[in-house]
Amino acid sequence: MRNNLIFFIVIVFFVPACQSVQSSDLDESNRFFEKGDYVRTVNTIDNISKKRILNFDERKLRGLSYGKMNNYLGAIRDYRYCWELKKNDKTVLFNLAQCYSTIGAKDSAIVFYSHLLGIDSTNSTALNERALCYINKQRLDDALSDLKKARQLDPNSYMVYNNIGQIAEIRGNYLDAVKNYNISIAKNDKEDLVYYNRAISYMSLHKSDSAMSDFGKAIAINPTESAYYLNRGLAYHELKKDIEACRDIGWAALLKNKSAVRIREKYCK
């Protein structure tokens, strides 16, 4: 099942402007990084480490490269080293929190988002991301508090309204959820996940026509997300429309959705 929450980006890596340093090796690493060649960036910095202990900038750049390569454990090792050297580096704090969140270590992510917000209380992105971790830990009041602060700081953030809607949906307040999804869509009508979330709330409100319309919009924007087909298929099944249900469940199965494969074997023989 796809996560119904919206992150600012799956994982955000803020890259500061390259500072002038007296290391030709680091300059070369920066050039590789700027070209998007993260493997050569890492290899170059690894070669530096064979000659001497890496400094802050080198470890930070390697952490950024590991993150770009989805090697979050490698990134965490370098960011932790950097954090020990400079406790208030905002880039390190944010990216360290993002890495922990991505691997599912939500408590550790909350710690570092909180460190960041302690020195930058107006960081609406960090507030939104910490709220997502709070939601994962079922700390809904804490999440809503962060999202309200983020909304005040950035009233045009569609993802904040989506995530507020998610809290309302979790609590069974489907009308309030739809209200927030409506605002989110008004601010950005190209985000498939918000249509999907609104469809789920519409189904809970027994507004099947509205739900089917939103499932369709989500699929039109992102036709490769199996959860959209599966849930529309389940909605059709609930409405006793077996042909349509099996069609969508079949599409989800073709997209390698394991739950869809099991459900297809049960309902679509």
pLDDT (tens digit per residue) in 136-163? 999 999 999 999 999 999 999 999 999 9
pLDDT score of 33 more than 90: yes
CA distance 14 to 11: 10
Say whether pLDDT at 14 is over 70.
no
Question: What percent of the residues of the chain are helix, what percent strand, and what percent coil, each to the nearest 5?
Answer: 70, 0, 30
Angle, alpha carbons 37-81-59 (nearest 5°): 25
Residue 191 has pLDDT above 70, yes or no: yes
Taking residues 50-55, what's their average pLDDT?
91
Residues 6+ apart with CB under 8 A from 128: 7, 8, 146, 147, 150, 157, 159, 160, 163
Q: CA-CA distance, 4 to 44, in Å (whole number)?
A: 39
Q: What is the pLDDT of residue 1?
A: 44
Range with lowest mean pLDDT among 19-33, 55-69, 182-196, 203-217:
19-33
Structural domains of the chain ordered from first start: 158-216 (1.25.40.10), 224-269 (no CATH)
Q: Closest Cα to residue 192, out of 232, 226, 228?
A: 228
Beta-carbon contacts of 153 under 8 Å, excluding residues fewer than 6 positions away, are 122, 124, 127
Average pLDDT value over all residues in the chain: 91
Q: Taking residues 84-100, what's their average pLDDT?
A: 96
Name the region of 12 (left: φ>0; alpha: ψ -120 to 50; beta: rest). Answer: beta
State the pLDDT at residue 26: 82
Which of the 8 DSSP states describes residue 18?
P
Predicted TM-score (pTM) of this structure? 0.85
Neighbour count for residue 6 (Cβ, 10 Å):
23
With the C-alpha atoms ordered 21, 23, 26, 28, is the resulting torsion angle positive or negative? positive
Distance CA 150, CA 8 (A): 12
Region 21-47: what's the mean pLDDT?
86
